[in-house]
């Protein structure tokens, strides 16, 4: 019996995977699989012979989300599935999670269909404090900027940022900057094949002078032990997510990987934690933060490849 083929899906910018996942092919090979690496929109790839395809470093999908989803539907065995990735491409899913009782960061949504003027965009920004502007469809922090509401120049740049996306038909999110991120950072809880697997703590990425551009921004993460409280919140989010998937896709499914990003509530907040984001497409799994993380992901892939 030949070794099962596992194709790690990447983009042209990362033809050999990014540095965080560089050890994955060897880890798969050590577990009896035949790893391959392929760029998702390479016309020369025969996806019918890809075996189990695992979406990883597709950081460019947000530039052509419909093209990416059209490609995903042609791949016979893709993890996570195209239907799950379809709704995860657009952060409007946070609205649905909020309706289902998940505490999320308060967001003002600017929609292209509203044809907002620059002044109307201006009036939708917070009057005090720092705030974040980002497109609803993005990857790797592209297009995300932190601005100061009481600084006229910063506010003008935020207007320019929002208008740039709106004029190109992209929905825009405006959120107050959650100051607790600067104090305690952000937490990512990683689930593999539906099981709680490991946690990383991330250093703040949006420093006060951070402004929007089209680059992928590197996250600095450290492995740590999750508290019972953190896993309890993660499980609450995971269960809500699976109910949502069942309603959206018509059936539930076991996700190969699921990254839940949360941040602790501030001293005046009612909630212990807030959901920042759920990553089911190309979000980093921080495999290089701890060798154990790499081994756990390789084991999870083996379970699915040998099914």
In 58-194, where do the E strands start and end?
A: 78-79, 107-110, 130-135, 145-148, 172-176, 186-192
pTM score: 0.90
Contact at 8 Å (CB) between 269 and 46?
no
- SS3 label, residue 3: coil
Cα angle 8, 9, 10; round to 5: 115
DSSP H/E element including 276 = strand 273-279
Spatial separation of the C-alpha atoms in residues 307 and 304, rounded to whole Å: 5
**Both structure tokens of 233:** 């919140």
Q: What structural domains and CATH numbers belong to the chain?
A: 5-88 (3.40.50.20), 107-176 (3.30.1490.20), 179-305 (3.30.470.20)
- Overall size of the chain counted in residues: 307
Render each residue's pLDDT in the chain as its tens digit; 307 residues: 579 999 999 999 999 999 999 999 999 999 999 999 999 999 999 999 999 999 999 999 999 999 999 999 999 999 999 999 998 999 999 998 898 888 999 999 999 999 999 999 999 999 999 999 999 998 767 778 999 999 999 999 999 999 999 999 999 999 999 887 877 778 999 999 999 999 999 876 555 444 555 555 566 778 888 888 889 888 888 888 888 888 877 888 899 999 999 998 877 777 888 999 999 999 899 999 999 999 999 999 999 999 8
Which residue, among 30, 103, 18, 6, has the nearest Cα to 57 in the 3D structure? 18
- SS3 label, residue 263: strand
- List residues bridging with 175 in a β-sheet: 107, 132
Give the phi and the psi of residue 257 in degrees, each rounded to 5.
-140, 145
């Amino acid at each position: 019996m030949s070794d099962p083929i596992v194709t790690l899906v990447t983009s042209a910018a990362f033809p050999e995977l990014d540095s965080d996942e560089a050890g994955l092919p060897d880890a798969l090979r050590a577990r009896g699989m035949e790893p391959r690496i392929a760029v998702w929109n390479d016309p020369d790839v025969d996806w019918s012979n890809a075996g189990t395809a695992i979406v990883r470093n597709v950081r460019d999908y947000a530039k052509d989300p419909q093209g990416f989803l059209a490609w995903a539907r042609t791949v016979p065995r893709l993890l996570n599935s195209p239907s799950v990735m379809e709704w995860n491409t657009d952060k409007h899913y946070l609205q649905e999670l909020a309706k289902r009782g998940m505490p999320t960061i308060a967001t003002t949504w600017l929609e292209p269909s509203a044809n907002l003027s620059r002044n109307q965009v201006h009036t939708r920004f917070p009057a005090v404090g720092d705030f974040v502007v980002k497109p609803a469809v993005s990857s790797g922090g592209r297009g995300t900027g932190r601005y100061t509401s009481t600084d006229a120049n910063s506010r003008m740049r935020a207007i320019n940022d929002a208008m740039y996306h709106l004029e190109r038909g992209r929905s825009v999110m405006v959120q107050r900057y959650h100051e607790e991120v600067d104090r305690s950072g952000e937490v990512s809880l990683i689930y593999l094949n539906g099981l709680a697997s490991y946690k990383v703590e991330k250093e703040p990425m949006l420093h006060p002078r951070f402004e929007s551009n089209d680059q992928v921004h590197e996250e600095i993460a450290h492995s740590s032990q999750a508290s019972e409280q953190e896993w309890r919140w993660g499980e609450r989010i995971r269960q809500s997510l699976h109910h949502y998937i069942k309603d959206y896709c018509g059936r539930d499914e076991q996700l190969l990987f699921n990254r839940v990003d949360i941040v602790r509530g501030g001293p005046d907040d009612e909630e212990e934690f807030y959901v920042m984001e759920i990553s089911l497409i190309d979000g980093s799994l921080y495999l290089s933060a701890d060798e154990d993380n790499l081994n756990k992901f390789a084991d999870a892939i083996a379970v699915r490849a040998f099914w």
